[in-house]
Structure 1
Amino acid sequence: MPEVTTHRTSRLGLGRGVSELRAFVEAALLDPVDEPPMQTGRQLLRRRFVVVVTIAVGAVALGLALDIAPGDVSFYPAALGVAALWMVGAVASGPLHLGRGRTRSGGGSRGVLQGFLLGLGLLVVFLLGAVVVGRIPVLRRPVDDLLAHAAHGSLPIVAAITFVNGVAEELFFRGAVYSSSPRRWAIPVSTLCYAASTLWSGVPLLTFGALCLGLLTSAQRRVTGGVAGPIAAHLTWSLGMLLLLGPALSLGD
């Protein structure tokens, strides 16, 4: 009899956990809140012009920054310059919104905690994948080159730059780019633009990471109507990858 009771309790606990997870996913990624006010045709045209110019210049600037040899102090101002481009483009494009999310209990929030949890989940998936990548030299080599900036430079400075870049990228790609796109195409457009901006880096896994992160944060942008939640998800993932990707790759040795 105790075994039957324990088994039944376990099933109830598992069912409750699945229900909580489903409610979280629906609140964080599926059920949108009210969209910000519609833009006028002139505002939309201006935003699209600024977005196109910024993406073109920013993609080139990012590629040049990543081409700088690890340990070269010029990498720091170059990386901050890329962040400044994204930020200026975002602000120049028009109004940005923090957004307003909905919790699984039906209450309201900025979506920051949801963003943190979503970013943490994506981080765990990527770290598990890194263990496999660590065993494949053709995939690992470009990632090692990318991480060399942290290994040969100042980790606190690189972490601070990663933080600033994460905020700037979300302001631009989930703020300006998303808002400049037709609503039904906003998620794929902002995701593909973000991934395309990394192509010149020559690191396939960076582009793949941008696709995954972009899809996640774009979905949260749709739900919350703003950038606060996506910023939290981006920072959790990017700072976690900076600090933990190297050790995860080493597990594949």
Structure 2
Amino acid sequence: MRRDELRHFLDAALVRKVPRDNRDTPVALRRRRIVCALTLVVGAVILGVGLNVPPGEPLFLLLTGLLALVWLGGAVLAGRMHLGRAWTRDGRLARPLVQSLALGLLAVGVFCAGAVVVAQVPMLRDPVNAVLDHARSAPLPVIVLITLVNGLAEEVFFRGALYAAVTRRPVLVTTVLYTLVTAATGNLMLVFAAALLGVLVGAQRRVTGGVLGPMVTHVTWSVSMLLLLPPLLTALGSAPVG
């Protein structure tokens, strides 16, 4: 992708908003905020417990499945959601599928480049391996399915229900809350990844006016990193012993 093409792509994906009017009534907004607040508390507790379960424990799979249900349930109870639209190369509006896939792959490239640095620093490498230990201790198709479902559920809630509940600086607020919830895991690298991803998909939500783009970008990134990080860290000589 040439520099001009990349600039136009990023402008359409992350800067230039599409026209829409998705505002809630005052009553609906109040209901949305109450539901979102309760969902955030419950989700943070389940996430914190789940990621601190020893790798290989069946409870991990149970809790991650429950967490997806919490995010989805909270989003449904909070109120209506919109898929959103994006600008195409010829100035039309369409569902943000290909654009979001490309954005997710760009994020994968950036994170893989960062992994080269992470692999050389034990303080950063160990938290990453702590997360990957869960993936290594269960059948890969099961972990891929869990990653896919939870990524979709997170976006439906955080960039769907929660984003619509925030009337000022929603990208900043939803990113901060997403990062704080992730902090319940106690994993430094997950928190860092949540902050970066939150800004990216938050900007996407701002531009497209819906959850489809963030959903595609998130699962493209999360599933790709799940599949690429273990062999990448192994190739860099950072695989754990045993």
Which bin holds the TM-score, normalised by the shorter protein? over 0.9
Partner of 1:163: helix, strand, or coil? Answer: helix
- Deviation string, structure 1 residues 57-105 (Cα, Å, up to 9, x no partner): 1011001111111111221111010010000001110001001111132
Check 1:172–1:90 CA distance in 2 against 1; reply closer, same or farther (3 A cut). Answer: same
TM-score, length basis structure 1: 0.91
Q: Identify which of 123, 127, 138 aligns with 2:108.
A: 123
Matched, 1:77 2:62: yes
Q: Identify which of 59, 64, 69 aligns with 2:44.
A: 59
TM-score, length basis structure 2: 0.95
Matched, 1:230 2:214: yes
Quote the residue 1:140 is aligned against. 125
Residue identity opposite 1:239 in structure 2: V
Check 1:246–1:240 CA distance in 2 against 1; reply closer, same or farther (3 A cut). Answer: same
Q: Contact 1:33–1:225 (CA<8 Å) still a contact in 2? A: yes
Quote the residue 2:204 is aligned against. 220
Residue identity opposite 1:154 in structure 2: P
> How far, CA to CA, are the matches of 1:39 and 1:179 in structure 2?
8
Quote the residue 2:232 is aligned against. 248
Q: Contact 1:26–1:104 (CA<8 Å) still a contact in 2? A: no
Matched, 1:181 2:179: no
Q: Contact 1:166–1:231 (CA<8 Å) still a contact in 2? A: yes
Matched, 1:201 2:208: no
Quote the residue 1:170 is aligned against. 155
The offset of 1:45, in angstroms, is 0.6
The offset of 1:251, in angstroms, is 3.4
Structure whose CA Rg is larger: 1
Gaps spanning 5+ residues in structure 2: where? 238-242
Q: How does 1:41-120 map to 2 (within 5 A)?
A: 41-120=26-105
> How far, CA to CA, are the matches of 1:129 and 1:63 in structure 2?
25
The offset of 1:185, in angstroms, is 0.6
Quote the residue 2:240 is aligned against. none
The offset of 1:248, in angstroms, is 2.0
The offset of 1:36, in angstroms, is 3.2
**Which structure has the highest helix share of the two?**
1
- Deviation string, structure 1 residues 139-172 (Cα, Å, up to 9, x no partner): 1111111101111111110110100001100000
Residue identity opposite 1:244 in structure 2: L
Quote the residue 1:153 is aligned against. 138
Gaps spanning 5+ residues in structure 1: where? 1-13
The offset of 1:252, in angstroms, is 3.0
The number of residues matched between the two structures is 237
The offset of 1:35, in angstroms, is 2.8
Partner of 2:51: helix, strand, or coil? Answer: helix
Partner of 1:176: helix, strand, or coil? Answer: helix
Q: Contact 1:63–1:200 (CA<8 Å) still a contact in 2? A: yes
Identity %: 46
Residue identity opposite 2:73 in structure 1: V
> How far, CA to CA, are the matches of 2:89 and 2:64 in structure 1?
38
- Deviation string, structure 1 residues 161-197 (Cα, Å, up to 9, x no partner): 1000011000000001110001x41100111111111
Partner of 2:195: helix, strand, or coil? Answer: helix
> How far, CA to CA, are the matches of 1:77 and 1:33 in structure 2?
39
